[in-house]
């Protein structure tokens, strides 16, 4: 083989190897509650350390480049956002644009009034639980996720979408920070990707809940379970059963509420599903019951 042909062949092999290393990314939606995929300067072997709003950010090898996979909080304002990128030779600022998005309104009637207007004792419990929940959703583990494309944790219609501005019994509450999947009580809930169970509990609003850390600040939370079938420290493979659908906590009926947290920002779980699986996500607050 002549030298030019050999060089061309070597280059083709290297490009093929880089292409093979490019694992699928989540769907990009650089909006409040969405995910931005931001190319990073340099292409060294070592991953840079990236922070957004003081939080570590997931960094992913995409072929010949590194990219930051950034969760954008629902409260973020549209405009220019800035990443801090440390490649070992100083910190650089990398900008990306956050586009506007307006979410629909949803109004629900909750029969248990305490779930809308908690008592003083309930509020003490809620504050204790919020500390545990926030810590679990903000957890950082250096291991990179096995995949950035998830399976649905349970089969069923995507009944109540992410980001809805919610009113319970006419009172405004926080936006819907997850995705609801309608399913009968007792339906198995499976890990959408591999991860480590970091926390479980039975919470005032969330009911029986499991937290699954996928790595690098990517965390799933599964709420309202009737039964928890794992313990903190368990290492789960994709598809392994972690619990069963229920109606515990603040609910109108049995279903799974699935939250995805990325660099401690709650983002739309549908962005991590294959487009065919995410296609059933309703675009308004008028999806079928049950809802959280």
Confidence (pLDDT) at 247: 94
What's the mean per-residue pLDDT of the chain?
A: 84
Among 8-12, 56-60, 161-165, 196-200, which stretch is predicted with the lowest mean pLDDT? 8-12
Every domain range in the chain assigned CATH 2.60.40.1590: 22-98
pLDDT: is 168 or 164 the higher one?
164
Overall average pLDDT of the 190-215 stretch: 97
Alpha-carbon span 160 to 173, nearest angstrom: 15
Give the β-pairing of 65-71 and 235-236.
Answer: unpaired
What's the CATH number for 105-278? 2.70.70.10
pLDDT: is 64 or 107 the higher one?
64
Alpha-carbon span 187 to 244, nearest angstrom: 5
Q: In the CATH hierarchy, which fold is given to the domain comprising 22-98?
A: Immunoglobulin-like (2.60.40)
Q: Flag whether pLDDT at 17 surpasses 70.
A: no
pLDDT: is 1 or 113 the higher one?
113
pTM of the full predicted structure? Answer: 0.83
């Amino acid at each position: 083989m002549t030298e030019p042909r050999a060089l061309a062949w070597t280059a083709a092999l290297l490009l093929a190897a880089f292409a093979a290393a490019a694992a699928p990314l989540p769907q990009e939606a650089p909006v409040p509650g969405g995910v931005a995929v931001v190319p990073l300067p340099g292409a060294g072997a070592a991953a840079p350390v990236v922070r957004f709003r003081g939080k570590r950010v997931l960094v992913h090898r995409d072929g010949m480049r590194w990219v930051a996979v950034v969760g954008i909080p629902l409260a973020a304002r549209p405009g220019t956002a800035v990443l801090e990128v440390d490649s070992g030779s100083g910190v650089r600022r990398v900008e990306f644009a956050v586009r506007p998005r307006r979410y629909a309104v949803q109004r629900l009637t909750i029969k248990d009034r305490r779930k809308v207007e908690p008592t003083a004792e309930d509020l003490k419990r809620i504050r204790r639980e919020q500390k545990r929940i926030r810590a679990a959703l903000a957890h950082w583990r250096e291991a990179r996720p096995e995949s950035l494309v998830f399976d649905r944790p349970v089969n069923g219609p995507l009944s109540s979408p992410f980001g809805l501005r919610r009113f319970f019994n006419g009172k405004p509450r926080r936006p819907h920070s997850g995705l609801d999947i309608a399913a009968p009580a007792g339906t198995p809930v499976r890990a959408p990707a591999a991860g480590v169970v970091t926390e479980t509990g039975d919470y005032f609003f969330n009911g029986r809940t499991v937290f699954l850390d996928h790595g690098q600040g990517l965390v799933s939370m599964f709420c309202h379970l009737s039964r928890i079938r794992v313990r903190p420290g368990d290492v789960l493979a994709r598809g392994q059963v972690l619990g069963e659908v229920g109606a515990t906590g603040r609910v109108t009926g049995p279903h799974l509420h699935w939250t995805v947290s990325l660099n401690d920002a709650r983002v739309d779980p549908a962005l991590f599903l294959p487009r065919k699986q995410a296609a059933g996500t309703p675009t308004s607050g008028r999806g079928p019951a049950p809802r959280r």
